[in-house]
Amino acid sequence: MPKGARSFQFSFDERGITHFGGMWLIQRFCHRIRFRHLLKRHVSIPTREGPFQPTELILALVFCIIMGLRRINKTDILQYNGAFLNLLGLERFPDQSTLRRFLKRLTPKDIRQVARLHDSLRSHLFDQPRSRTSLILDLDSTVLTVYGKQQGAQVGYNPRKRGHRSYHPLLAFEATFQEFWHGSLRPGNTVSGTGAPSFLKICLAKIPRTMPRSRVRFRMDSGFYGNRIIRFLEAERCHFVIVARLFSTIRRRAMGVRFTKLRNGFEVGEFQDRIRQSVPHRCRFVVVRRPIPEDPVEAKQLTLFKDRKFAYHVLATNLPWHPWRVYRFYRGHASVEKNIREFLYDYPLGKIPTDTWTANVAFFQLVVFAANIVHWFKRLCLPAAYLTTTLETIRTDFLVLPARLVRQGRRNVVRLPHDYHYQKAFLAASRKIEVMRLPARFHLCPTKPARTPL
């Protein structure tokens, strides 16, 4: 075996090194979509005397989120990361107290400006690289457990930490490309359907006018099942598939329908009934049942209601499709669970940084903004295989790279590792960024009716 080096000397004078060498791709992408320019122009936050402008602090937070620094107090490692400071155009990186104070002094008006710019950028990039003819939106909620005395945190439904205070954000994702669409941070004592009609109204307001409402479809779990949501979507001429709550009447009707057996062993049927007994409005219900597996472990994993032989799944819908196609369509809703897990574990959504409600809402909005910047980067610059990958994969393959920034003649050169596995994809992404041609005119989305609630 060859022996490693045994004699060392240490020098602490290097200024152009970083282990986030791939962040140059994100920086160049943000430059091409004019992110810094748009922040300066459309996000007007009163400034205080100090070395940092609001735009620089927002950029610093967004880049830290993308880089994987899960807590604000972990940003101290960037104080001596010379290449990253050069990327931001800063002489030094703001310390954790500066970032927290900045979040705490943001007002609801400031947060709405950031959210409005986010919506406008998403609308600006919606038809890139090609136009879309339909839209599928998946809605779901999650629980963010907190361990301090954060404002707005309440004791509510918390399956993992019962009795702990939490937040209960509501999130919507575009299903085809898994792009974040809209979100709202809520106290922990709310349920999934709380404020859902207003939430849906904002989601619809963000859809381009060229998209017919008949081409918009929603998928939701049983937490959103209710007369108000179903009547609202039908009035808006949108299609939906919602898991039905198993009231006794719905359950009896589901077990008593005439089933058609399919080749795969599943059986399907449908019936018309009232959403609930106290509501006269009727809806179409699709029923899918399957034989209970003989393996007790597999049978226990089925969360549907069961009788002696079958496990049932009941869906409320206004789609005119065959029941099996409706069921297959709803199964795609499972991708929203992956998106939420990514927000919790790859992004720092689960690491609430302050004890102030407005500051935590601001942090929430910056997290989802950063998530969409990564999404747009994947969609417009990386190979198609990366479109549905998580941020952790993007970091591992492209962003977390040892690099050195040097000056050769009049050019800046980023030196990356020898035999880097994804060199071709890295260079291809760089070329795509440099030749990006986006629509020249940029307009902010209207503030009404898509005003983001806090």
Which has the closest alpha carbon to 395: 69, 10, 59? 69
Give me the pLDDT at residue 304, please: 63
Name residue 185's amino acid: L
Report, in this order, helix, strand and coil percent for the chain, each rounded to 5. 40, 15, 40
β pairing state of 403-408 and 165-167: unpaired
Question: How far is it between the farthest Cα atoms of the chain?
Answer: 84
Give me the pLDDT at residue 162, please: 86
Mean pLDDT for all residues in the chain: 86
Would you tell me how many other CB atoms lie within 10 Å of the CB of residue 398? 24
| Contact of 349 with 367, CB cutoff 8 Å | yes
Write out pLDDT tens, residues 189-218: 888 888 889 999 999 999 988 889 889 999
| More confident position, 163 or 438 | 163
For 305, the enclosing helix (H) or strand (E) is: strand 305-306
Two structure tokens written together for 98? 């500066």
Backbone angles phi, psi at 348, to 5 degrees: -90, 35
Which has the closest alpha carbon to 454: 55, 66, 170? 170
Mean pLDDT along residues 143-171: 88
Mean pLDDT along residues 178-183: 94
Which has the closest alpha carbon to 444: 20, 136, 38, 12? 38
Give me the pLDDT at residue 303, please: 53
pLDDT band at 109 (very low <50, low <70, confident <90, very high): very high
| Contact of 157 with 167, CB cutoff 8 Å | no
| pLDDT of 254 over the 50 cut | yes
pLDDT band at 326 (very low <50, low <70, confident <90, very high): very high
| pLDDT of 300 over the 80 cut | no
Mean pLDDT along residues 217-237: 92
Write out pLDDT tens, residues 261-274: 999 889 999 999 88
| More confident position, 371 or 7 | 371
The model's pTM is: 0.90
Residues 6+ apart with CB under 8 A from 20: 67, 81, 83, 84, 399, 400, 401, 403
> Of 49-58, 240-249, 322-331, where does mean pLDDT reach its minimum?
49-58
Lookup result for tokens 């065959």? 322
Write out pLDDT tens, residues 387-433: 989 999 999 999 988 888 887 777 878 888 888 999 999 999 999 99
pLDDT band at 296 (very low <50, low <70, confident <90, very high): low
Give me the pLDDT at residue 179, please: 93
Give me the pLDDT at residue 1, please: 52
CA–CA dist 8, 13 (Å, integer): 16
Give me the pLDDT at residue 454, please: 52
Sequence spans of domains, the chain = 17-109+349-434
Determine the angle formed by the axes of helices 23-32 and 54-67, rounding to 10 degrees.
140
CA–CA dist 237, 83 (Å, integer): 52
CA–CA dist 131, 55 (Å, integer): 31
